[in-house]
């Protein structure tokens, strides 16, 4: 009888152990030992800790600036190889007023918006014209340059006198610029260039017939090289407005840059930089 009782007790112990093991297995299979989902309060706390665009720039200690570096007098290298220019100095002053350091990332014009899309920079300072097409995808600061598109030809040219005369002629243009669109709309055959300097080189070598380019760049070139064998024969009456460019959703950073630009105009800093490069206020 004792042996029977002992056998029954052993069987009961084995059943109980198996049941406990089953319960532990179920907990593991259903994630019983995995971390719990975050609570609503924890989620709200994480969200409240996110930085806005201005805070992120200040936390990094730098403003990443996309620019060409080959587009005088806006962004170019001086005789010592130093990056300088009107846009460069404007960007440097804006950055100083934001309390961070500038980091210039030089990029060819035709790749500059792709660089922005890839978030390689926080802003573009490169005399970028404000257009309806660009405003669909990007935000702009308040305008800080007003400039006119001009038609530039070799000094001995007699055939091209107006934009309409570009029909069937070779024009050296950046493929993605609004200046290139003017040439295309007037029937020109486009020869791709990397910027103003290359367009002028092609013009002087006779490889193109004309270029539609920035009037301020043309005036600066004639100032620096008065004997250069080119001339302006036509211009667009309505000036284009240029500004800094941002990806959409960076409202705080845009506002801070606008405030810096407004302060620079109020205290005379903007005019000082403008007169250095152009001899006048180019914001009007």
Query: In this predicted model, what pLDDT tens digit does every residue of 57-90 receive, in sequence order?
Result: 999 999 999 999 999 999 999 999 999 999 999 9
Same fold, 53-145+242-278 and 149-235: yes
Whole-structure pTM value: 0.73
| Conformational region of residue 168, where left means phi above 0, alpha means psi within -120 to 50, and beta covers everything else | left
Helix, strand, coil shares of the chain, percent, nearest 5, are: 45, 25, 30
Angle value at C-alpha 204, between 75 and 215, nearest 5 degrees: 45
Q: Sketch the domain layout of the chain as residue ranges.
A: 53-145+242-278, 149-235
Q: Is 135 helix (H, G, I), strand (E, B) or coil?
A: helix
Overall fold of domain 149-235: D-Maltodextrin-Binding Protein; domain 2 (3.40.190)
How many CB atoms sit inside 10 A of residue 274's CB? 21
Rounded distance between C-alpha atoms, residue 85 and residue 75, angstroms: 5
pLDDT of 131 strictly over 80 = yes
pLDDT digits (tens, 9 = 90+) for 144-187: 999 999 999 999 999 999 999 999 999 999 988 889 999 999 99
CATH code that applies to domain 53-145+242-278: 3.40.190.10
Instruction: Flag the least confident range among 26-30, 51-55, 137-141, 180-184.
Output: 26-30
pLDDT of 49 strictly over 80 = no
């Amino acid at each position: 009888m004792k042996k029977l009782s002992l056998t029954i007790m052993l069987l009961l112990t084995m059943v109980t152990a198996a049941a406990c093991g089953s319960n532990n297995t179920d907990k593991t299979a259903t994630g019983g030992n995995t971390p719990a989902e975050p609570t609503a309060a924890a989620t709200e706390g994480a969200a409240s800790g996110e930085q806005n665009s201005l805070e992120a720039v200040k936390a990094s200690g730098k403003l990443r600036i996309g620019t060409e570096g080959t587009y005088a007098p806006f962004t170019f290298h001086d005789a010592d190889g130093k990056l300088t220019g009107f846009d460069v100095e404007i960007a440097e002053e804006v950055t100083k007023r934001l309390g961070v350091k500038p980091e210039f990332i030089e990029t060819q014009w035709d790749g500059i918006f792709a660089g922005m899309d890839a978030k390689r920079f926080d802003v573009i300072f490169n005399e970028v014209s404000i257009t309806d097409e660009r405003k669909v995808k990007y935000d702009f600061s308040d305008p800080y340059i007003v400039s006119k598109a001009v038609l530039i030809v070799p000094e001995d040219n007699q055939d091209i006198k107006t934009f309409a005369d570009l029909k069937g002629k070779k024009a050296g243009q950046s493929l993605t610029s609004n200046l290139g669109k003017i040439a295309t709309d007037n029937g020109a055959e486009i020869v791709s260039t990397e910027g103003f300097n290359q367009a002028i080189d092609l013009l002087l070598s006779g490889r193109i017939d004309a270029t539609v380019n920035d009037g301020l760049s043309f005036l600066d070139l004639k100032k620096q090289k008065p004997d250069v064998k080119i001339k302006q024969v036509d211009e667009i009456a309505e000036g284009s407005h240029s500004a800094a460019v941002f990806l959409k959703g960076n409202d705080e950073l845009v506002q801070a840059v606008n405030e810096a630009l407004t302060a620079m105009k109020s205290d005379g800093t903007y005019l000082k930089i403008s007169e250095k490069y152009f001899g006048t206020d180019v914001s009007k």
